Copies of this chain bind each other. A is one copy, B any other.
């Protein structure tokens, strides 16, 4: 039997952070009719954005990729809180990665791999979603990376 996502997390020495608190009028996760919609995740610690700024100008592409991974852990924590267990994950369908980008930075797809490589590590091929990656002007609280998820759940 394949190891669970929780077991794979431990094997990778990764931990889910506390579930994020919404910074406004929205739900961290909406679960309805076999789908879970996870709100856009920016990486915060104690309510403060980690490593604010624009990628390439203030934050390197490598750091941005790590932040995409951490945003994914945060999203999984919100999901775990909503579902009770990551065992209810069936298939990641879509991931959108928004990267606050200097005009000359065009490697948003490499930043986005920080999110989707972790999903494949944890969920195998069921973690490989369709994806969109774009470079935006600025993100809430000057975050460099925001990641949004849609998945099928049991």
Contacts and interface: CB of A to CB of B under 8 A. Distances in A.
A98 B94 CA distance: 16
A34 B33 contact: yes
Q: Chain A, interface size: which category?
A: 35 or more
B106 A27 contact: no
Interface string A106-121: 1111101100110010
B37 A94 contact: yes
Contacts of A117: 25
Interface of A: 23-30, 32-35, 37-40, 91-96, 98, 100-101, 103-110, 112-113, 116-117, 120, 128-143, 146, 148, 150, 152
Sorted nearest first, the 4 A-B pairs with minimum C-beta distance are A40-B132, A26-B131, A37-B130, A135-B138
